[in-house]
Structure 1
Amino acid sequence: MSTALGYRAFGGADVQEFFERPDPLPGPHEVLIRVAAAGVNPLDHHLRSGHAPGLNGALPFPQVLGMEAAGTVLALGSDVSGLAVGDRVTGFALTGAGTYVATTLLLGTSTARIPDALPETWAATIPVAGTTALDILDQLDLPTGASLLVNGIGGGVGLALAQLARHRGLMVTGTASAAKRDLVATTGAKFVDYGSGDVIAQLRTLVPDGFDAVVDAVGGDSLRSVAELAKKPELLVSVGDPTVVELGGVTVRRRLDRDSLERVAELMVSGQLDPNITATYPLERADEALALVESRHAAGKLVIDLQLSTR
């Protein structure tokens, strides 16, 4: 049995609870791991709230929170290749199986070994923030010197995107709250405080003709306000708001494969990508970490370190 943080119905933070669940057994295409660390993401509370029924609406309760993790392989499904028991790995959890728990199941094709030099806390940020940033840049395929606006640059995806974009020779500008200014500065991106007056006017002053591409990590009204700054509508990309298509833009085409995980791990080892982990939490405080992400006040990346936990 393992202690997990999850939910027995869809709703707000009030439906979350810790409970004991049996350690799962891997199916043919699955990997059972002992979780060392789990990343905390907006997707976690969106799934809990029932905002993505296509992903977890038909799954039985209770469901465990979390979608990305790093840990050690305990067992492999019969059809999983390229991995072995004892490997340190990172990957995407089965939806509902979660990662805010001591043992969980990952998708075999979406699990990769992590280099010896990479700590599990860093590796746990690869599946969502790291590969999302990589997918965006590969999808945009911008030339060296192109201008890129990242709306909501202060979170895990935005900071990863800014770093990788700069290494590709792109000119990055980002919007975030004033509290995230110093963190954004470490990426070399220009910063616009979206709490200091007319943001669009400030951005127009920096880039009068608009940006070669605009990536939005906020959604809603904020997405609609920056849409006009993309020189071409098809180069407006949203991380998580599907209404971007109404503006002529697109969502991120996610690959979720082993190759992408390995590429991001190597970018971390080579020094091109720092996940900017600003806080780690033991499992018993995972609800606090998720609450901070849900408030949109979290800077950088938050990680649950199960090696700190007493449960």
Structure 2
Amino acid sequence: MHAIRLHTFGPAENLTYEKTDDPDPGPGQVRITVRAAGVHLLDTALREGIQGPAPAPVELPTIPGREVAGVVDALGEGTDAQWLGKRVVTHLGFAPGGYAELAVVDAARLQEIPEGLDEAGAVALIGTGRTAMGIVQFADLDKDSVAVIPAAAGGLGTFLVQYAKSKGATVIGLAGGERKAALVRENGADLAVDYLDPQWPAAVREFLGPDRPATVVFDGVGGETGRAAVGLLGEGGKHVVFGWTESGLGGGPIDFADGELAARGVESVTTLGPAMMQKAGGDNPVRTLENRALALAAEGVLRPAVTRFPLAEAAAAHRALQERGTVGKVVLEP
């Protein structure tokens, strides 16, 4: 098979397209003919040698990638024969191997792809979609809600906009540049503003009117953009934090002064770590969130936006993602 391999930590150019041995599924596993592999910002960090949340250091050489969709073409010993030939999507966890024509995974991790959803869209849902479902647990959205969503043109932002609109909320989407803002409007946002314009908070206030503040900010960027978004919240508002960026529209986590939010009656909730899983509940919280995302996609509530690259151009995909030159979920297609 062909795969993307990383032999040395460093820039995107270190990702090389090579021919390597086909993997064989072990007991309880399946092999998937990959039709789509997800690219995540965490992948770019691991490529650079930044450990991140992975439980063990990445061993080189490696085939990156943790989200794949395709068709099961081989079964390991003891694996249920029903999976053979099925269209499936799976998150590999922290095991690498996604950027390849073939991938092996435990059958227990598989989800069947709903009819009408293509493999690239399924990849967007299995990781990014389930994260969106975890985040929205922390906000009670309804027709009286006003949700502000930074990075609304990204894979996660796309789902947050769609979900909030499905609950009847007024949605304000932030995006970098008019092209992305236009896509956010097409996705259903009531107002899409270009965060590169320093006057964007005034545009939001003018749209909402003097007596209608934001009720929730879904913040995955932090920095000055996140702080300005939090400034739009009224009393009783909620700042839902699920990450931050170190550059671009972000700038790291927001450093609020002691009592700053409490004085305004604003609650800050961090969804990172075990909080999201505890909120999801069930015997397998990860699968609970995956099921919700896939079910909402089958209903037409969640509609994945995808930027596609050929597998051989993984380096270009990494560069584009880091330079914010993509919209929706970035996907590699063998």
Shorter-normalised TM-score: what interval? Answer: 0.7 to 0.9
> CA 1:107/1:141 → structure 2, altered by over 3 Å: closer, same or farther?
farther
Q: Determine if the alignment matches structure 1 residue 100 to structure 2 residue 99.
A: yes
Q: Determine if the alignment matches structure 1 residue 186 to structure 2 residue 186.
A: yes
Aligned partner of 2:300 in structure 1 is 271
| Contact preservation (8 Å) 1:234, 1:249 | no
Deviations 1:62-115 (A, max 9, x none): 222222111122445678779622221111024242321011234544421112
> CA 1:118/1:227 → structure 2, altered by over 3 Å: closer, same or farther?
same
Give the residue type in structure 1 aligned to 2:44. Answer: H
Q: Distance in 1 between matches of 2:13 and 2:236?
A: 39
Offset of residue 273 of structure 1: 2.1
| Contact preservation (8 Å) 1:91, 1:261 | no
Offset of residue 123 of structure 1: 1.3
| Contact preservation (8 Å) 2:226, 2:254 | no
Structure 1: gaps (5+ residues): 307-311
Among 285, 295, 305, which residue is 2:333 paired with?
Answer: 305
Offset of residue 245 of structure 1: 8.3
Give the residue type in structure 2 aligned to 1:197. Answer: P
Among 306, 310, 328, which residue is 1:282 paired with?
Answer: 310
Aligned partner of 1:309 in structure 2 is none
Deviations 1:18-44 (A, max 9, x none): 234433344566543221111222222
Aligned partner of 1:238 in structure 2 is 241
SS of residue matched to 2:314: helix
Matches within 5 A, 1:33-48: 33-48=32-47
Q: Distance in 1 between matches of 2:223 and 2:79?
A: 40
Q: How many residue pairs end up in the alignment?
A: 304
Q: Determine if the alignment matches structure 1 residue 296 to structure 2 residue 324.
A: yes
Q: Identity over the aligned pairs, expressed in percent?
A: 30
Offset of residue 214 of structure 1: 0.7
Deviations 1:179-212 (A, max 9, x none): 2122111222111111222333333434456422
**Cα RMSD, aligned residues only:** 3.0
Q: Distance in 1 between matches of 2:149 and 2:70?
A: 31
Q: Distance in 2 between matches of 1:262 and 1:31?
A: 20
Q: TM-score, normalised by structure 2?
A: 0.79
Structure 1, 232-241 or 171-180: larger mean CA deviation: 232-241
Structure 2: gaps (5+ residues): 246-251, 257-267
SS of residue matched to 1:140: coil
Aligned partner of 2:261 in structure 1 is none
Q: Distance in 2 between matches of 1:3 and 1:305?
A: 12
> CA 1:73/1:215 → structure 2, altered by over 3 Å: closer, same or farther?
same
Offset of residue 292 of structure 1: 1.0
> CA 1:173/1:200 → structure 2, altered by over 3 Å: closer, same or farther?
same
| Contact preservation (8 Å) 1:69, 1:99 | yes
Structure 1, 19-28 or 171-180: larger mean CA deviation: 19-28
Q: TM-score, normalised by structure 1?
A: 0.84
Greater CA radius of gyration, 1 or 2?
2
Q: Distance in 2 between matches of 1:72 and 1:108?
A: 13
